[in-house]
Amino acid sequence: MLIVTGHCGNWELLAATINCRGLGMAVVARELEEPRFNAFLLALRERFGTRTILRGRPQAARDLLRTLRDGGALGLLIDQDIAAEGVWVPFFGRLAFTPSGAADLALRFDLAAVPAFIERRADGSHLARFEAPLALPPDRTAATGLMTARIEAQVRRRPEQWPWFHRRWRRRPPAD
């Protein structure tokens, strides 16, 4: 299964919550530039059972496929303009360059794509919400757009819990 989410609420706690329930989830992430902080974050994730697959590492594809083959869940955050293969899809009424890896994996391996989010509550607790698996269209752009629409809906639900400082619309779409 594929957990599709964004940087909403405490996304690190979402992965820990899933693993504490025994699902066996791995996340795909970039390596942080500060080595000590990177090691700290990887250890913190691992403490709660979350394996991290670092993008760009030689064994990343193999680790990703092993996770899926072993019946685990793979978590992907697709709400940032990153250096990865992607497509242009609407996000808050503007085209945004969005990583298409989640759609590519879901379509290629017939994975259930489950939107999941976590949000802080006023009393300091957190609520993890899992939506029904998406009925993905066979086109990667349309599938990525559907996933992105679910993230946008969550940001609209709790706008204060999304990092607006990220340059989401950093790139401009090519002219028609």
- Look at residue 174 and tell me if it is in a domain: no
At 111-162, the pLDDT tens digits run 999 999 999 999 999 999 999 999 999 999 999 999 999 999 999 999 999 9
Rounded distance between C-alpha atoms, residue 76 and residue 138, angstroms: 19
- Look at residue 142 and tell me if it is in a domain: yes
Q: Which amino acid is at 6?
A: G
At 79-117, the pLDDT tens digits run 999 988 999 999 999 999 999 999 999 999 999 999 999
- Look at residue 27 and tell me if it is in a domain: yes
At 27-69, the pLDDT tens digits run 999 889 999 999 999 999 999 899 999 988 889 999 999 999 9
**pTM over cut 0.85:** yes
- Look at residue 168 and tell me if it is in a domain: no
**What range defines the domain where residue 68 resides?**
2-161
**Cα radius of gyration (the chain):** 16
Rounded distance between C-alpha atoms, residue 65 and residue 74, angstroms: 10
- Look at residue 170 and tell me if it is in a domain: no
Which pLDDT does position 176 carry in this prediction?
A: 55
Rounded distance between C-alpha atoms, residue 87 and residue 26, angstroms: 24
N-term to C-term CA, the chain: 36
**CB atoms inside a 10 Å sphere around CB 15:** 28
